[in-house]
Amino acid sequence: MSRARTRTRLLRVVTYNILLGGARREERITEVLRRTGADVITLQEVSNPAFAAELARSLGMELVIGHASDGSGINLAVLSRLPVRRWRNHTHRGRMLRSHLETVLTTGGDHVPELHLHSVHLAARFGERKKGEERRRRELDALLSDLTETAAAPHLIAGDFNSLAPGDHLEATAFFARMAELRRARVLVRQANGLVAPKRVGEDAAVDEAWLRVGVDPRLDVGIPVLPFVVYPLTALLPRSRVVDRVLGGTIERGTVARLLDAGYVDAYRHLHPRAHGYTCATWMPAARIDYVFANSVMAARLRRCEVVGSRGWPDREASVASDHHPLLAEFAV
Whether the per-residue pLDDT at 2 is higher than 50: the answer is no
pLDDT (tens digit, 9 = 90+) per residue, 207-224?
A: 899 999 999 999 999 999
Cross-sheet strand order for the sheet of 188-190: 188-190, 195-198, 227-228
Dihedral (Cα; 78, 82, 85, 91), 10-degree rounding: -10
What element of type H or E holds 320?
A: helix 319-322
Whether the per-residue pLDDT at 40 is higher than 90: the answer is yes
Average pLDDT over residues 255-263: 96
Spatial CA neighbour of 234 closest among 170, 177, 174 = 177
- Residue 241 has a pLDDT of 87
Q: Are 182 and 224 in contact (CB under 8 A)?
A: yes
- CB count in 10 Å sphere of residue 93: 10
- Residue 128 has a pLDDT of 61
Quick check: bond before 282 cis, omega within 30?
yes
Task: Work out the pLDDT band at 251, boundaries 50, 70, 90.
Answer: confident
- Which range is least confidently modeled, 78-87, 106-115, 227-236, 295-304? 227-236
Give the separation between CA 290 and CA 246, rounded to whole angstroms.
17
Q: Are 87 and 73 in contact (CB under 8 A)?
A: no
Average pLDDT over residues 19-38: 97
Whether the per-residue pLDDT at 173 is higher than 80: the answer is yes
Query: Considering the entire predicted model, what is its pTM?
Result: 0.95
Give the separation between CA 40 and CA 60, rounded to whole angstroms.
11
Task: Work out the pLDDT band at 6, boundaries 50, 70, 90.
Answer: low
Average pLDDT over residues 305-320: 97
pLDDT (tens digit, 9 = 90+) per residue, 112-168?
A: 999 999 999 999 876 666 678 899 999 999 999 999 988 899 999 999 999 999 999
Beta bridge partners of 294: 157, 267
Contacts for 211 with CB less than 8 Å, ≥ 6 apart: 187, 199, 201, 217, 218, 221
Q: What percentage of residues in the chain have a pLDDT greater than 70?
A: 95
Q: Are 103 and 84 in contact (CB under 8 A)?
A: yes
Q: Are 183 and 232 in contact (CB under 8 A)?
A: yes
Average pLDDT over residues 270-289: 97
| DSSP conformation letters of 222-248 | GGSPPEETTHHHHHHT----HHHHHHH
Longest C-alpha distance within the chain, in Å?
Answer: 81
Contacts for 22 with CB less than 8 Å, ≥ 6 apart: 29, 48, 51, 322, 323
Whether the per-residue pLDDT at 4 is higher than 60: the answer is no
Average pLDDT over residues 20-30: 97
pLDDT (tens digit, 9 = 90+) per residue, 67-111?
A: 999 999 999 999 999 999 999 999 999 999 999 999 999 999 999
Averaged pLDDT score across all residues of the chain: 93
Domains of the chain listed by start with CATH number:
10-168+252-333 (3.60.10.10), 172-246 (no CATH)
Tell whether the torsion through CA atoms of 185, 214, 46 and 121 is positive or negative.
negative
Average pLDDT over residues 46-63: 98
SS3 158: strand
- Residue 129 has a pLDDT of 67
SS3 257: helix
268 phi, psi to nearest 5 deg: -60, -45
Q: Are 284 and 324 in contact (CB under 8 A)?
A: yes
